[in-house]
C-alpha cells in the first residue's frame, strides 16, 4: 500500500501538472484544450469542497481515485487522444466510472441506513439496487449529457457524433455499476467478509464512518 506521503505527492502533482498544461494551452491559444483543462482543475476540487462545505471526509484512497479518474478521462483521454491511441481506454474508464459512482451511491445509502435511532433497516437488495441506479444516473446519463453539451458548444468531438459510442459508454458504465452492486450485496449479506475484497470494504467503510461521525448520529424516526 502507498504511504500517506506518497498519496499526497501524487495528489498535488496532478494538480500542479494540470495548471502548467492549462497555461501552455492558453499561451498557444488552444482554447478547446484550455476549456477542458479548466474543467479538470475545477472538478479536482470537488473532494475539498465537500470537506469544507458539507464536512464530508472521503478516505484519501477514494480522493485519489476521483482525482485520477478525472485526470485520465479529460487530460489523457481528450487532450492526449488516448481514446484514439488505445481502443480499450474508453471501455476501461467507463467501467471504472460505473464502479466509482456505485461506491459513492453505496456509501450514501449506507450512511442513511445507519442514521436513524434503532437503525432503519434496508434490505441488501434495495441498497444494491440504489447503488446500481445511482451509478448509472451519474456515471452514465449525466456524463453523456455533459459530453453532448460540450460537443454542441465547442465541437470537442467527445461523442464522436456516434450513437454507437454513446450506447457503448452506457453499456460499460452498466458493467461497472453492476460489479459494485453485486459486491456490495454480498458484503452486506456477510458473504465476503473473510476475503481480501470484503476486508478492504470493511476497512474502507470503517474509516469513512470514523471520519464522518456527524453523519451517523442517531435521530428519531
Task: Give the single-character DSSP code of 86.
Answer: -
User: In this structure, what are the phi and psi dihedrals at residue 219, rounded to the nearest 5 degrees?
Assistant: -125, 155
Span 137-164, pLDDT tens digits? 887 788 788 778 877 777 766 676 677 7
| Model pTM above 0.75 | no
- List Cα–Cα distances, 15 to 8, 40, 143, in angstroms: 11, 9, 22
**Distance from C-alpha of 184 to C-alpha of 192, rounded to nearest angstrom:** 9
**Distance from C-alpha of 35 to C-alpha of 29, rounded to nearest angstrom:** 11
Span 55-91, pLDDT tens digits? 777 776 677 777 777 778 767 776 777 878 888 888 8
Amino acid at each position: 500500500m502507498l504511504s500517506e506521503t506518497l498519496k499526497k505527492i501524487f495528489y498535488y502533482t496532478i494538480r500542479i501538472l494540470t495548471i502548467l498544461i492549462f497555461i501552455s494551452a492558453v499561451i498557444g491559444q488552444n482554447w478547446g484544450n484550455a476549456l477542458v483543462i479548466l474543467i479538470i482543475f475545477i472538478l479536482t476540487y470537488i473532494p475539498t469542497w465537500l470537506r469544507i462545505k458539507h464536512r464530508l471526509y472521503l478516505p484519501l484512497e477514494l480522493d485519489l481515485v476521483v482525482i485520477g479518474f478525472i485526470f485520465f478521462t479529460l487530460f489523457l483521454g481528450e487532450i492526449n487522444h488516448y481514446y484514439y491511441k488505445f481502443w480499450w481506454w474508453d471501455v476501461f474508464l467507463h467501467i471504472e466510472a460505473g464502479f466509482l459512482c456505485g461506491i459513492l451511491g453505496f456509501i450514501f445509502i449506507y450512511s442513511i441506513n445507519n442514521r436513524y435511532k434503532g437503525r432503519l433497516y434496508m434490505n441488501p437488495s434495495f441498497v444494491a439496487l440504489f447503488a446500481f441506479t445511482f451509478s448509472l444516473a451519474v456515471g452514465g446519463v449525466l456524463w453523456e449529457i455533459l459530453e453532448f453539451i460540450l460537443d454542441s458548444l465547442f465541437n470537442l468531438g467527445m461523442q464522436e457524433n456516434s450513437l454507437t459510442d454513446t450506447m457503448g459508454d452506457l453499456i460499460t458504465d452498466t458493467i461497472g455499476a453492476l460489479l459494485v452492486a453485486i459486491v456490495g450485496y454480498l458484503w452486506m449479506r456477510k458473504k465476503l467478509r473473510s476475503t481480501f475484497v470484503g476486508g478492504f470494504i470493511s476497512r474502507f467503510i470503517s474509516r469513512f464512518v470514523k471520519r464522518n461521525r456527524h453523519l451517523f448520529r442517531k435521530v428519531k424516526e
